[in-house]
Amino acid sequence: MSAAAPDRPRRIAILGSTGSIGTQALQVIAAHPERFEVVALAAGSNAELLARQVQATGAGVAAMYDDDAAAQLRERRTSTGLTDVEVLSGPDACEQIAAEVQADVVLNAITGSIGLKPTLAALGSGATLALANKESLVVGGALVTAALQRPGQVVPVDSEHSALAQALASGRHERGLCSPVTTGYSEVSRLVLTASGGPFRGWSVEQLAGVTPQQALKHPNFDMGLMVTTNSATMVNKALEVIEAHLLFDVDLERIDAVIHPQQYIHSLVEYQDGSSIAQAGPPRMLVPIALGLSWPDRLQKVDTAIDWTRAMDWTFEPLDDAAFPAVRLAKQAAAASATHMAVYNAANEQAVQAFHSGALAFPGILKTVEQTLAAHTGIAASQTDLETVLGVEEWARATANQIISSAALTTATGSGQKA
């Protein structure tokens, strides 16, 4: 299925519609009703908000990951007169929507590697995949690229990768975004992703040892939920984005860097072989990349307020402190090791983040857990990797990470004189 014909609105399915990306996507769609038609919405457990979204958009299909929440949604469907809306539920509901609703664009805004199956289902349906779920590409890189049916079928929604796609348009196009035909960008010397630095920019290794969960959730610019906000604090989010850029644009990992830019007006930039750098700038918000994900390659009108270039501003850039924040280095090493090491990286990190917020792990222990879990993984070649293999590796990684976390907690308790 190609993009919708210009004489009709694009049919949109949103997976993760009650989250930050999903709600902003619905704002964009509401402002351009002539361009889009919402055909399906999916969420985790917020039945009340999803019911309001269904009522506002007229979506014919709604799905909830949580079965109890789906039952609530069915009750609300009756009370609001939306009896014609089909309600799906369970872990496979998003995958079913991606595969069956005949959308022109599927926006995958789910958090975590559970987004992998819906990503593959969307690609298999032929729809354009507006990808905000970086984990599915990072974890299932070989599977995702193998599932592509045409150049440009994946359009990035992360602001950094949207910026790179826009900046790459300044050069010769030798292939589309995340194309099944890889020839690379011969003019490109380097991709540079910017990062805010999170709440602990400039902190030393010693200072990070005492970080609390409350501090880790105080991002300077965004509220992105527990997992993504914590990943921003550890720089894991930037590490995943580096790997995502490698897979989307087929640029070697050695030619992809991350730099700290606290103001977050430059979303990322491309350095060309002649020494020029093309940067994409905009307010530190997500509306433009979300809109481009839905309308690519077209630009919509009046999506966000432009930068006021008549106002004095200071934009600063700093190198990444690898000693305090080794996430990017570990991710590059993992991605180079085998086709399954990044699945281990992501799964171990998810377990460690949850352990940190439950009080079972210190903040520096998150990356230590990831590193130790990676060291225990032998790796599997891409030619031997399928979905079942990736899911099995993830299960192993979570179990291994939990063992490492338990050992760390036991050591801490014993060392502090507590009864183990």
In angstroms, the CA 260 to CA 320 distance is: 6
DSSP conformational letter for 158 = S
CB-based contacts of 197: which residues, under 8 Å, 6+ apart? Answer: 220, 260, 262, 318
* φ/ψ of residue 41, rounded to 5: -135, 145
Chain centroid offset of residue 331 CA: 15
Residue positions forming the annotated binding site for 1-deoxy-D-xylulose 5-phosphate? 134, 159-160, 196, 219, 232, 237-238, 241
Q: Quick count: other Cβ atoms within 10 Å of Cβ 7?
A: 5
Residue positions forming the annotated binding site for Mn(2+)? 158, 160, 241
Lateral strand order in the sheet of 277-281: 277-281, 266-272, 188-195, 256-260, 318-319
In angstroms, the CA 354 to CA 350 distance is: 6
In angstroms, the CA 179 to CA 320 distance is: 30
* Spatial contact of 14 and 22, defined as CB atoms under 8 Å apart: yes
Lateral strand order in the sheet of 154-156: 86-89, 61-64, 36-43, 10-15, 105-108, 128-131, 154-156
Q: Quick count: other Cβ atoms within 10 Å of Cβ 221?
A: 13
Residue positions forming the annotated binding site for NADPH? 18-21, 44, 46, 133, 135, 225
Residue positions forming the annotated binding site? 18-21, 44, 46, 133-135, 158-160, 196, 219, 225, 232, 237-238, 241
